Amino acid sequence: MSAGTFLHELVGSMSAGAAGNPTVAMVEAAFAHHHLHWRYVNLEVSPEDLGAAVRGAKAMGFRGFNCSLPHKVTVIPHLDGLGPSAAVMGAVNCVVRRGHQFIGENTDGKGFLKSLETTIDPKGKSVVLFGAGGAARAIAVELGLAGAKRLTVVNRSESRGAELVALLRKQLPLQAELVVGRGDYAVAAGTDIVINGTSIGLYAPEARLPLDLASLQPGMVVADVVFNPVRTRFLVEAAARGCATLDGLGMLVNQGIVGVQFWTGITPDAAVMRRALESAMGV
Ligand code: NDP
């Protein structure tokens, strides 16, 4: 079979349970809007079949694919190389064909950064980041690469928090410290950016972050990775205290934009992608 057999260029989304992925609508809306005869297809891949799936995608001429949990780390041995931030994080969510190679990238942190940069340049800034899981790790590494000066990681479990801070100290020039979450955390004066990188609030509009709200000052930039609900309790309360806020949907749209840029070389229309995502999510 030659690549010419395909009517469309193909990009995949490999996850262990592929049903109901709203990013399909977002990426396909971008392809359609820019008159690209491309398809973005959901592919349900079990962990034991991941290597065969990657080899198959390569053999069939896929331009790349996204991969989500549980494949973000285990996909790495099946790739030909890693982009700089994926190499630091040790996690891949976006694979890009470059020549004959499949290169692993991580667009979660890049999407966050792109969203953040609409409001503030993180270079030289002090940041408080709640969480030390996959999303927080991706954000922390991109903030470090973008020149943030200081990062305080606030996490419930010490082990995951310590692992992230050790990685940041080893690989990046920023000052990193860990606060193990015990009760409400008070953000220090002089902090520029406060981020919820945990899953607190996801599908739980009443859930609250362990944060002393009175420590949020007007002018701080507050961001949430949680995208459903879009206006989380954390963002609503931060806005009421005069902070500029950025929602998790912006991060999700921007990681989609970065992926489309990687695969196609074009910069897609953000508004078209956000509308398609909101419609697919019913928000
Ligand atoms: P992980 O499971 O890897 O990490 C979860 C993090 O949340 C950990 O730091 C965990 O702390 C913390 N946490 C969870 N529940 C609680 C709680 N009750 N109290 C205190 N801390 C808690 O998840 P991910 O990093 O992959 O995802 C985190 C969130 O980011 C999800 O809501 C996900 O939907 C969202 N996300 C958004 C994206 C976007 O584009 N907007 C992209 C990727 C993810 P501990 O270490 O103690 O367990």
Is there a single domain that holds both residue 127 and residue 95?
Answer: no
What is the structure's pLDDT at 102? 98
Owner of token pair 């069939």? 60
Provide the number of structural domains found in the chain. 2
Three-state SS at 104: strand
Q: Is residue 200 in contact with ligand 1, taking CB distance under 6 Å?
A: yes
Is there a single domain that holds both residue 97 and residue 225?
Answer: no
Q: Is residue 196 in contact with ligand 1, taking CB distance under 6 Å?
A: no
Ligand 1 geometric centre to CA of 130 (Å): 9
Task: State how far the Cα of 79 lies from the Cα of 57, in Å rounded to an integer.
Answer: 11
Supply the CATH number for residue 277's domain.
Answer: 3.40.50.10860
Structure tokens given for 165? 């801070």
Range of the domain at 19: 3-105+252-281
Q: Which atom of ligand 1 sits closest to the CA of residue 201?
A: 32
Task: State how far the Cα of 215 lies from the Cα of 192, in Å rounded to an integer.
Answer: 12
What is the structure's pLDDT at 63? 96
Residue segments in the chain with a per-residue pLDDT below the cut of 70: 1-8, 18-19
What is the structure's pLDDT at 182? 86
Is there a single domain that holds both residue 86 and residue 175?
Answer: no
Q: Is residue 136 in contact with ligand 1, taking CB distance under 6 Å?
A: yes
Q: Is residue 255 in contact with ligand 1, taking CB distance under 6 Å?
A: yes
Strand partners, 9: 38
Is there a single domain that holds both residue 38 and residue 95?
Answer: yes
Ligand 1 geometric centre to CA of 100 (Å): 35
Is there a single domain that holds both residue 52 and residue 126?
Answer: no
Supply the CATH number for residue 148's domain.
Answer: 3.40.50.720
Nearest alpha-carbon partner for 194 in 210, 182, 174: 210
Q: Is residue 275 in contact with ligand 1, taking CB distance under 6 Å?
A: no
Is there a single domain that holds both residue 144 and residue 75?
Answer: no
Task: State how far the Cα of 229 lies from the Cα of 226, in Å rounded to an integer.
Answer: 7
Ligand 1 geometric centre to CA of 189 (Å): 25
Pairing of strands 126-130, 193-196: parallel
What is the structure's pLDDT at 7? 54
Is there a single domain that holds both residue 193 and residue 240?
Answer: yes
What is the structure's pLDDT at 173? 94
Q: Is residue 134 in contact with ligand 1, taking CB distance under 6 Å?
A: yes
Q: Does residue 168 contact residue 176 with C-beta atoms inside 8 Å? A: yes
What's the pTM? Answer: 0.93
Is there a single domain that holds both residue 88 and residue 160?
Answer: no
Tens digits of residue pLDDT in 72-131: 999 999 999 999 999 999 999 999 999 999 999 999 999 999 999 999 999 999 999 999
Q: Does residue 64 contact residue 102 with C-beta atoms inside 8 Å? A: yes
Is there a single domain that holds both residue 85 and residue 136?
Answer: no
Is there a single domain that holds both residue 184 and residue 259?
Answer: no
Is there a single domain that holds both residue 100 and residue 158?
Answer: no
CA-to-CA separations, 166 to 79, 135, 154, 178, 241, in angstroms, rounded: 26, 17, 14, 9, 33
Name the closest-CA residue to atom 13, ligand 1.
198
Q: Which residue among the candidates 72, 110, 114, 125 is catalytic per the annotation?
A: 72
Task: State how far the Cα of 239 lies from the Cα of 104, in Å rounded to an integer.
Answer: 37
Asked about 72 being catalytic, the answer comes back as: yes
What is the structure's pLDDT at 15? 86
Is there a single domain that holds both residue 147 and residue 204?
Answer: yes
What is the structure's pLDDT at 4? 38
Ligand 1 geometric centre to CA of 98 (Å): 31
Provide the CA 57 distance to its chain's centre, in angstroms: 23
Tens digits of residue pLDDT in 24-37: 999 999 999 999 99
User: φ and ψ at 53, to 5 degrees?
Assistant: -65, -40
156, 226, 227, best to mutate for ligand 1 pocket (most atoms within 8 Å of CB): 156
